[in-house]
Amino acid sequence: MAEPADTHVVHVEVSGQRFAIRSSLEPAYVEELAAYVTEKMKVAALSAPNSDLLRVAVLTSLNVADELFRCRHAEQWRAAEVSERAAALEQILDQALR
pTM score of the predicted model: 0.77
User: How far is the C-alpha of 28 from the C-alpha of 34, rounded, in Å?
Assistant: 10
Residue-level pLDDT at 98: 87
CB–CB of 7/30 below 8 Å? no
Side chain identity at residue 78, one-letter code: R
Q: 13 has which bridge partners?
A: 18
Phi, psi angle pair for 13, to nearest 5°: -125, 130
pLDDT for 1 equals 53
How many Cα neighbours within 13 Å face the side chain of 69?
A: 6
At 91 the pLDDT is 94
